[in-house]
A and B are shown apart, each in its own frame.
Chain A
Amino acid sequence: MIKLKDNADYKNIEDEATRSVVLAGVGGQGTILAANMLANALVLHGYDVKTSEVHGMAQRGGSVISMVRFGSAVASPLVPLGEADALVVTELLETLRNIEFLAPGGKVIASRTRVDPLPVLQGAVEYPADAEERIGKIAPGSIIVDAAAIAAEAGNARAANTVLLGILSPLLPVGEDEWLATIEKLVKEKAVDANRNAFLAGRKIAESR
Chain B
Amino acid sequence: MPEPRLMTGNEAVALAAFHAGALFASAYPGTPSTEILEQFSKFDGVYAEWAPNEKVALEAAIGASLGGVRSLAAMKHVGLNVAADPWFTLPYIGVSGGLVIASADDPGMHSSQNEQDNRYYAKAAKVPMLEPADSQEAYDLTREAYRMSERYDTPVMLRLTTRVCHSRSLVEAADAEAPKPMPYEKNEVKRVMIPGHARLRHPVMVERLAELEELSNDSPFQKKELGSGDAVVVTCGVAYQYVKEAFPGVSILKLAMTNPLPRRLISEFCEQFKDVYVVEELEPYLEETVAGLGLYPKGKDSVPRVGELNVDNVREAFPELAWSKGAAPRMHIAHVEGLPARPPILCAGCPHRGIMYSLARLKAIIAGDIGCYTLSVLPPLSAHDCQVCMGASINMGHGIEKALELASGKGEAAGSHRVVSVLGDSTFFHSGVTGLMEMAYNNGRFTVVILDNRTTAMTGFQDHPGTGVTLQRQQSSSVDIEMLARSLGIENVRVVDPWDLDECKRVLSEEMKRDAPSVVISRRACVLRDKASQREALKVLREECNDCGLCLGLACPALVKREGEVTILEDACVGCGVCAQVCRREAIKV
Contact = CB atoms under 8 A, between A and B. Distances in A.
Contacts of A103: 332
Contact of A121 (B311, B334, B335, B559): B559
B473 interface: no
Interface in A63-107: 63, 74-78, 80-83, 93-94, 96-97, 99-104
A55 interface: yes
B163 A97 contact: no
Contact of A63 (B162, B170, B342): B342
B110 A56 contact: yes
A77 B167 contact: yes
A172 interface: no
A177 B30 CA distance: 38
A30 interface: no
B237 interface: no
B380 interface: yes
A93 B338 CA distance: 11
Nearest to A98: B336
Contact of B311 (A36, A80, A94): A80
18 contacts: A36-B168, A43-B4, A51-B168, A60-B344, A60-B346, A62-B344, A76-B245, A78-B310, A82-B331, A97-B339, A97-B342, A99-B336, A118-B555, A121-B552, A122-B552, A122-B561, A123-B561, A123-B564
Interface residues of B, number: 55
Interface in B156-187: 162-163, 166-170
Chain B interface secondary structure, helix, strand, loop or mixed? loop
A62 B343 contact: yes
B552 A123 contact: yes
A159 interface: no
Given A57-B111, A93-B342, A138-B333, A51 B167 contact: yes
B345 A49 contact: no
Contacts of B549: 122-123
Interface string A14-47: 0000100000001100000000100110010000
B557 interface: yes
A153 B467 CA distance: 41
A150 B195 CA distance: 72
Interface of A: 18, 26-27, 36, 39-40, 43, 48-63, 74-78, 80-83, 93-94, 96-97, 99-104, 116-123, 125-128, 134, 138-139
A4 to B, nearest CB: 18
B541 interface: no
A76 B460 contact: no
Given A51-B168, A102-B333, A123-B549, A56 B111 contact: yes
Contacts of B331: 82, 104
A138 to B, nearest CB: 6
B132 interface: no
A39 B336 contact: no
B290 to A, nearest CB: 22
The list of the 8 closest CB pairs from A to B, nearest first, reads: A82-B332, A56-B111, A62-B344, A60-B344, A123-B561, A117-B342, A77-B167, A56-B31
B341 A119 contact: yes
Contacts of B170: 43, 48-49
A152 to B, nearest CB: 12
